[in-house]
């Protein structure tokens, strides 16, 4: 490659084919799974069995458009503006709590109504946290590794965001955000004593929050023995387990799920993995898990490549995205399979939900941009 070619703008350089292929494969599975899982609910509530499929297609188009725009933005822009995105997302979290502005659904005030669509600020807050913390770890790397102050400062900022999330309440988003932040701090090389102390305090705090809210405690109790209240708190988990059992090895066939027909409430959102497992069986469920595993491993590989090249922000950003994707996928699938208490978290790139889909695609585009910049620089050095 000539030096002139190496200096050409990166703008439309073709992204990493393997990572892009994994992302598109998951998006395609998500569209198929939602199309199948939502037909009964959509027919009953909207008199149009393809209502959610059409809306999800619109969300996908918007998400891919935003992802293309994010891919064209240099990584250094996100480094410089991370604090601004966290500030804007915090303002949205405050706005959603104002009576008459935030939309209340089933006792949770997490959405902003925008015409016929809704916006979920907590998804933006999680993404903004990644940008802010990755930048902080680069600017204060030595302090984070050596002193309590450097370790605690970002956690105090995130604690304020967590309080806003808990006010909605959105316990699941809070857990994912804080666990991802702790993972990033650990990977940044913070002292083990500092990390272990904060981790222990976080566990105690989360246990207190569960104890303080009766509905959270009830979810934990019903998770340990859902058959104790099969028509109440244990209903969703039991129906999800039935879906897994009906799937057996090869599934009942796409579109042939029985559990989606009002046995598993709103199966196209939090329990879409259960319907996928019922219709495609163990083989389909294992394939989806393998795709997520490959996606996360590739993201970490991109982060490691950036770290070896000396680009700390890009590395921490990729590590954070990998941790968030893997954490959400583990919790969503674990809840569906009865391994974890019921928690309302989407399956990235799969579940129905416009804000989640847009944020997931945007974050994946940032990883693709990191990889493209690293590849571009490597070619320039070899020229």
Whether 227 is in a domain gets the answer yes
The predicted-structure confidence for 238-285, as pLDDT tens digits, reads as follows: 899 999 999 999 999 998 999 988 788 778 888 899 999 999 999 999
Residues in the chain: 383
Report the range of poorest mean pLDDT among 126-135, 222-231, 333-342. Answer: 222-231
Report the range of poorest mean pLDDT among 83-87, 216-220, 315-319. Answer: 216-220
Between residues 337 and 107, the one the model is more confident about: 337
pLDDT score of 2 more than 50 = no
* Locus of tokens 């994707």: 325
Task: Return the pLDDT at 107.
Answer: 67
**What percent of the chain shows pLDDT beyond 70?**
94
Supply the pTM of this predicted model.
Answer: 0.93
The residue range of the domain holding 94 is: 84-344
pLDDT score of 9 more than 70 = no
The predicted-structure confidence for 171-192, as pLDDT tens digits, reads as follows: 889 989 999 999 999 999 888 8
Task: Return the pLDDT at 1.
Answer: 32
Report residue 258 as tokens. 């029985």
- What is the H or E stretch that residue 169 is in? none
Q: How many structural domains compose the chain?
A: 1
Between residues 279 and 382, the one the model is more confident about: 279
Task: Return the pLDDT at 3.
Answer: 41
pLDDT score of 371 more than 60 = yes
Task: Return the pLDDT at 123.
Answer: 93
Between residues 296 and 104, the one the model is more confident about: 296
Whether 89 is in a domain gets the answer yes
In 3D space, the residue among 73, 64, 11, 62 whose CA is nearest the CA of residue 366 turns out to be 73
Whether 20 is in a domain gets the answer no
48 Cβ neighbours under 8 A, 6+ residues apart: 42
pLDDT score of 12 more than 60 = no
Give the DSSP letter string of 270-327: TTHHHHHHHHHHHHHHHHHHHHHHHHHHHHHHHHHHHHHTT-HHHHHHHHHHHHHHHH
Q: Are residues 292 and 329 in contact, defined by beta-carbon separation less than 8 angstroms?
A: yes
pLDDT band at 295 (very low <50, low <70, confident <90, very high): very high
Mean pLDDT of 149-167: 89
Task: Return the pLDDT at 210.
Answer: 72
pLDDT band at 170 (very low <50, low <70, confident <90, very high): confident
pLDDT band at 313 (very low <50, low <70, confident <90, very high): very high
Whether 164 is in a domain gets the answer yes
Whether 353 is in a domain gets the answer no
Mean pLDDT of 352-380: 92
Whether 35 is in a domain gets the answer no
Whether 229 is in a domain gets the answer yes
Task: Return the pLDDT at 187.
Answer: 92
* Strands ordered across the beta sheet of 102-105: 102-105, 108-114, 117-119
Mean pLDDT of 220-236: 78
Cα separation, 77 vs 365, whole angstroms: 14
Between residues 47 and 62, the one the model is more confident about: 62
Mean pLDDT of 367-380: 90
Give the DSSP letter string of 92-156: HHHHHTSTTTEEEETTEEEEEEETTEEE-HHHHHHHHHHHHHHHHHHHTHHHHHH-HHHHHHHHH
Mean pLDDT of 127-132: 96
Q: Are residues 368 and 73 in contact, defined by beta-carbon separation less than 8 angstroms?
A: no
Whether 366 is in a domain gets the answer no
pLDDT band at 383 (very low <50, low <70, confident <90, very high): low
Mean pLDDT of 30-46: 90
pLDDT band at 121 (very low <50, low <70, confident <90, very high): very high
| Cis before 169 (ω within 30) | yes
Mean pLDDT of 306-335: 96
Task: Return the pLDDT at 7.
Answer: 44
The predicted-structure confidence for 73-95, as pLDDT tens digits, reads as follows: 999 999 999 999 999 999 999 99
Q: Are strands 117-119 and 102-105 parallel, antiparallel or unpaired?
A: unpaired
The predicted-structure confidence for 191-215, as pLDDT tens digits, reads as follows: 888 888 888 888 888 778 777 767 6
């Amino acid at each position: 490659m000539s030096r002139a070619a190496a200096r050409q703008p990166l703008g439309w350089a073709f992204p990493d084919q393997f990572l892009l292929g994994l992302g598109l494969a998951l998006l395609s599975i998500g569209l198929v799974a939602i199309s199948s899982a939502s037909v009964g609910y959509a027919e009953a509530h909207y008199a149009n069995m393809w209502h959610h499929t059409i809306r999800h297609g619109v969300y996908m188009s918007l998400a891919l458009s935003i992802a293309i725009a994010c891919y064209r933005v240099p990584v250094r822009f996100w480094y410089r503006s991370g604090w601004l995105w966290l500030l804007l997302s915090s303002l949205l979290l405050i706005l959603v709590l104002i009576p008459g502005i935030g939309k209340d659904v089933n006792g949770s005030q997490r959405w902003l109504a925008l015409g016929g669509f809704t916006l979920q600020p907590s998804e933006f807050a999680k993404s903004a946290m990644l940008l802010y913390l990755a930048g902080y770890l680069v600017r204060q790397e030595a302090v984070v590794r050596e002193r309590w102050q450097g370790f605690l400062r970002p956690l105090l900022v995130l604690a304020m965001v967590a309080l806003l999330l808990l006010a909605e309440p959105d316990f699941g988003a809070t857990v994912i955000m804080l666990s991802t932040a702790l993972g990033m701090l650990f990977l940044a090389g913070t002292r083990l004593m500092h990390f272990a102390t904060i981790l222990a305090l976080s566990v105690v705090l989360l246990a207190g929050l569960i104890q303080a809210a009766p509905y959270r405690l009830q979810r934990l109790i019903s998770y340990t023995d859902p058959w104790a209240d099969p028509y109440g708190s244990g209903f969703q988990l039991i129906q999800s387990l039935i879906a897994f059992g009906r799937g057996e090895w090869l599934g009942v066939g796409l579109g042939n799920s029985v559990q989606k027909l009002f046995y598993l409430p709103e199966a196209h959102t939090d329990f879409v993995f259960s319907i996928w497992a019922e219709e495609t069986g163990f083989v389909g469920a294992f394939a989806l898990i393998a795709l997520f595993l490959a996606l996360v491993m590739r993201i970490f590989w991109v982060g490691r490549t950036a770290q070896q090249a000396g680009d700390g922000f890009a590395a921490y950003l990729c590590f954070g995205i990998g941790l968030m994707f893997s954490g959400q996928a583990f919790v969503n699938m674990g809840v569906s399979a009865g391994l974890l208490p019921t928690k309302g978290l989407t399956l990235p790139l799969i579940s129905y939900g416009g804000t989640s889909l847009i944020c997931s695609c945007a974050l994946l585009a940032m990883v693709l941009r990191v990889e493209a910049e690293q590849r571009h620089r490597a070619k320039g050095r070899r020229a």
